[in-house]
Amino acid sequence: MSIQHVISTMERLTELHQQLFDSGEEKKQAIIKNDIEKLTQIMTQENRLLKQVAEVEKERVDAAYAFLHEKGIRSQLNLTVTELLRLVFNVEERFQLQDSQNRLLNVIHALKRQNEVNQQLIHHALEFIDFSLNVFVGAEDDLIYQNPAHQSSNLKKNNFFDTRA
């Protein structure tokens, strides 16, 4: 088995990560629009993609081991693609492997940045919800311990809802 199988698995990994990136863009729009149903669908799709990524990554590792055995190296070390590049002597195959590595890394870095943006959007949305709840309900000014006998009279004063209705 040649290095071509490693290259093809890396190409599939790049495609899967690109699909994750695309779904991240959809997720960003769903977060902005507060579309919870769409967000749930996207997260389900992302879970499926992540399972596929794990399967293809395992296939890539197996292909790398097969390449090592083909070269006469009987090691079970978990070599990185950069370390594999040192063992590829065909210039064209080395270029293809390095090119697929660079494309995969570029997509992964873009995905990482996108996930950070989405995480910040979610954090801001949660802060807004917390702020809105505090405005609606009112924040408790006295956060100091009070005698429970005195607390019940204070709670009746701050109650916005008429329980008799």
Residue by residue, DSSP assigns 30-55 as: HHHHT-HHHHHHHHHHHHHHHHHHHH
Mean pLDDT of 117-126: 90
pLDDT in tens, 44-75: 999 999 999 999 999 999 998 888 888 887 77
- For residue 72, the model assigns a pLDDT of 82
133's tokens: 């709840």
Q: How much of the chain exceeds pLDDT 90, in percent?
A: 51
Mean pLDDT of 11-37: 94
- For residue 161, the model assigns a pLDDT of 52
Angstrom distances, CA of residue 97 to CA of 34, 60, 74, 107: 41, 12, 21, 16
Q: Which domains does the chain have, with CATH numbers?
A: 4-138 (1.20.58.300)
pTM of the model: 0.75
Mean pLDDT of 83-88: 85
